[in-house]
Amino acid sequence: MSSKTFSLRIPQATDGHALNQLVERCPPLDTNSVYCNLLQCTDFSATSIAAENPEGELVGFISGYRPPSRPDTLFIWQVAVDDRMRGQGLASSMLLELIRRTADAGVRWLETTISPGNNASEALFARAFRELGVSAETQVLFDRATHFDGLHDDEVLYRAGPFSETALSNLSKKIQESA
């Protein structure tokens, strides 16, 4: 999928350092080590997606993985979009393309965690759930007091699915039309 301002692709090892810098520019995202980002770009490349601008700069990234106990589920770990690219539909384009791509490998459920008050993430995932014709169940997965010693907001788990074949087919058609 591409547009005039970005193109989407599978991450590569050479994206690791640029990913680390992108996340640093996207507060309040939690930063990780460059090594962790290298693993996201290699071992988890099938469940992640990169976006670059026409100059080849990494301007967006979604990292995800398939939990070993739930291989039919794509868990979205982090969504990063460079300030210059916000408001252009980049996050939605990345997320929908990643769902389409992983559905080919048997993914039928989507999970993520969102801290209360993160309106941008809540809106992004609400749009994706509507697009797929599913609703999400929510529950606190990691509690501020119990898991973060009061130093981080709760992380609320959103779980949605299963995606129907019709919804996935319609998603593929929509992506092809916008490419």
Over residues 59-80, the pLDDT tens digits come to 999 999 999 999 999 999 999 9
Specify the DSSP element, H or E, that contains 155.
strand 155-160
* Residue 14: pLDDT over 70: yes
Overall average pLDDT of the 17-30 stretch: 94
Structural domain includes residue 21: yes
Structural domain includes residue 2: no
- For the chain, the domain total comes to 1
Structural domain includes residue 172: yes
The three-class DSSP label of residue 128 is helix
Structural domain includes residue 129: yes
Asked if 29 and 45 touch (Cβ cutoff 8 Å), the reply is no
- CA 28 – CA 118 distance, rounded (Å): 10
The pTM of the full predicted model, rounded to 2 decimals, is 0.91
Structural domain includes residue 1: no
Domain hosting 52: range is 7-178
Structural domain includes residue 67: yes
Domain of 66, CATH number, reads 3.40.630.30
* Residue 2: pLDDT over 80: no
